Amino acid sequence: MSANYTRRELLGAAGAAGVVSLAGCSGLGGGGSGDTIVLGGTMSLSGDNADLGKLYQDAYNLTIDRINENGGVEAGDGNTYELELDLRDDQTDASASKTTYQELIQRQDIDYLVGPYSSTVTLPASAVAAQNEKPMVEGGGASPEIFSKGNEWIFGLLPTANKYALSSIDMAMAQSSPPESAAILAEEDTFSQSTADGVRAKMNDAGLDVVVDESFPTDTSDLSTNLGKVRDQDADILILCAHQKHAIIMANQMENQDVNVDMAMATVGSLNDAFKDEAGSSGNYVYGPSSWDINADFEDTVYGSTSGFADAVSGEFDYTPDYHSAAGETVILTFKQAFEQVDELTPTNVRDAIRRIEFTSAYGNIAFGDSGVIDKEMLVYQWQPEAGKQLVYPENVQQSEPTYPTPTWSER
């Protein structure tokens, strides 16, 4: 390697080409033989989900750099290791991701896997991990289906998708003029359909009349017809079960369709800076769920605290981290903690250590349940015109009260 390039510059150049791979620097595989442990995986580094994929990639790289700068991982086998990352672009394509994980395991001899983004991609990728008996820790797939198949090799850092929108419904029902009717628009993918299942059950329990319940193709760029039905049925609240692309479309098309609801919430991608940059003022008053509060104060062995992590990300990348970032950091930290606890580095030993692990990170208290998924409740944020993104529910941790009902377009 040329001395003219820093490690971060090399990572950035490789990432732009679709691969982040520095395993060749040491000539060592992913099993921990020698002084380097390689973590491998795929991520949405291009395409519609690239904004969110970048959050994970940045968190992975920054955390690995910090760990190595602080002396590496002092493993339970008595050796000290540096971490390296082999992260490849899957463009949110499940087939491409599955093939890449097989290559990482079978050709690159990588034993420890970081998961991809989106449930549709994570489900088949986790099956590859199980077939090859390699532990996978992921912060980008939340469908309950991932964790319902008895896969003992997959560990997830997000609440399951069916929980994503529940707190927002609780918030709406707690208002002085609670909603009576609701609309559900759901993308036709694994995560969004699981989210919609949870929403329907919650709305039924709350006694809400679901007046619109429609799904739409992932590749659509127009929700005007769906939103027109929400308007015509005079729904009080709207839950969009989808990703960032469609959250932006919803925000931008609601004004054109004169859709006035008391609450409009999108389940993924509505809380990061890229959403607000694209949606502009149309993104005002939109709600979104998060498994993480940036203002929390948890201890973190790499960054010191939650605020230390947030400051490090914003200082390095010039954006405010969200829960995808914090989950990404904790993917790396989970492996670090497991490596430190085993007296011999093997995939089975590391998997067993992850299963019983308990620690704190910038993301919060970390422990995996019997199915391998973390137990977290979702917080609710809202974009407010003057204050920006504000934590509005639950009340005991809110920064601001929700602006509810949302002002009509003619009142803004």
Residues 222 and 277 in one domain: yes
Residue 383 is assigned to a structural domain of this protein: yes
The CB density around residue 24, as the number of other CB atoms within 10 Å, is: 12
84 & 212 share domain:
no
224 in a structural domain: yes
Same domain, 114 and 14: yes
Mark whether 186 and 298 lie in a shared domain.
no
Tokens standing for 329? 């950091």
- Tell me: do 61 and 175 sit in the same domain: no
- The answer to whether residue 372 sits within a structural domain is no
At 149 the pLDDT is 85
* Residue 265 sits in the same domain as residue 394: yes
Region of residue 58 (left: phi > 0; alpha: psi -120 to 50; beta: else): alpha
- The verdict on residue 2 lying in a domain is no
CATH number of the domain that 230 lies in?
Answer: 3.40.50.2300
In a shared domain, residues 298 and 280? no
Q: At what angle do helices 244-256 and 224-232 cross, to 10 degrees?
A: 60
User: E strands along 44-76, which residues?
Assistant: 73-74
The model's pLDDT over 173-200, given as tens digits with 9 standing for 90+, comes to 999 999 999 999 999 999 999 999 999 9
Q: Give residue 340's pLDDT.
A: 98
Element (H, E) at 9: helix 7-16
User: In which domain, by residue range, is 223 found?
Assistant: 163-290+378-411
269 in any annotated domain: yes
Whether residue 94 sits in one domain with residue 23: yes
Number of domains in the chain: 2
CA-to-CA dists, residue 4 to 1, 8, 202, angstroms? 9, 12, 57
Identify whether residues 224 and 306 lie together within a single domain.
no
pLDDT tens digits along 298-322? 999 999 999 999 999 999 999 999 9
Q: Is residue 2 over pLDDT 70? A: no
pLDDT at site 19: 41
Structure confidence at residue 34 as a pLDDT band (50, 70, 90): low
Do residues 326 and 351 both lie within one domain?
Answer: yes
Count other C-beta atoms under 10 Å from residue 162's C-beta.
21
User: Is a pLDDT exceeding 60 seen at residue 6?
Assistant: no
Residue type, 117: Y
Indicate if 389 and 345 belong to the same structural domain.
no
Q: Write the CB contacts of 60 (distance below 8 Å, at least 6 apart in sequence).
A: 39, 85, 87, 114, 328, 329, 331, 332
Position 42 in a domain: yes
The answer to whether residues 398 and 318 belong to one domain is no
Does 221 map to a domain? yes
Distance CA 299, CA 290 (A): 19
**With pLDDT > 70 as the criterion, what percentage of the chain qualifies?**
92
Q: What are the structure tokens assigned to 323, written together?
A: 């829960």
Q: Does position 126 have pLDDT exceeding 90, yes or no?
A: yes
Pick from 178, 135, 166, 175: nearest CA to 39: 135
In a domain, 329, yes or no: yes
